[in-house]
Amino acid sequence: MGESLFDLTGRTALVTGGGRGLGREIAEVLAEYGANIAVCSRKLENCEQTVRHLKDRYAIKAKAYACNVSSEEDVDSTVVEVLKDFGKLDILVNNSGATWGEKVEEMPLEAWQKVMNVNVTGTFLMSKAVGKHMIENEYGKIINIGSVAGLKAEPPNVLNAIGYSTSKAAIHHFTKDLARKWAEYGITVNALAPGFFESKMTKHVIEKNADAIKGKNPMKKLGDPNSLKSAALFLASGGSDYITGQIIAIDGGSSL
């Protein structure tokens, strides 16, 4: 009975930024439990690699799409394509993200705007486009990727990326607000707030500060992909049907 709670057979998920890193990990676990997978990012080649990997390992349908999530035209046309190819969308994972490390007093305006456009505006545009379909179907699971950086302020020697941390705090509130607005349509909206996981985006920070980051963490370690994958599976499945508007920190207790 336990496994059936997490069975995603017949569901279709769209994972933005699914070509690499945490997005690819999430796409993989959803496929493992039976979901058909659409992945999109600006770099189509990365998504196509993910799709080939998923098709080789799991008996599911998967397809890659090129999409700049900060462009409304791109988002709308991609969602139309996905719906044409798969027939429906049950799960949306807003994972596409950008960051920019710089002192506040030195950060260029265009860097701030790029991070906001991808992280916040992209999450809004994709949720809006997919949400219209979910409202019609009276069912949907939206999972936004926030960050522990949006829950607490780090010292500059650990993380100096105010645009990123501000954008993730915005994602957390967007999650709560959207959950409140769309609960009546059978749509749940939750967010994962990862701590420090090894990924392309965090590689530089971890290389410089791994010991300090681990030392401050109550569990004395960095995140492992399975922790994130299991939480994403939970929020995408029927096991979380009575949970909405929640920010789940996956951080070994570092935000406590």
**Phi/psi of residue 250, nearest 5 degrees:** -115, 85
Contacts of 149 (CB under 8 A, 6+ apart): 159, 161, 164, 165, 168
The Cα–Cα gap between 117 and 103 comes to 20
State how far the alpha carbon of 200 is from the alpha carbons of 21, 96, 98, 203, in Å: 7, 13, 11, 5
Active site residues: 164
What 3-state DSSP class applies to 36?
strand
**Phi/psi of residue 52, nearest 5 degrees:** -60, -45
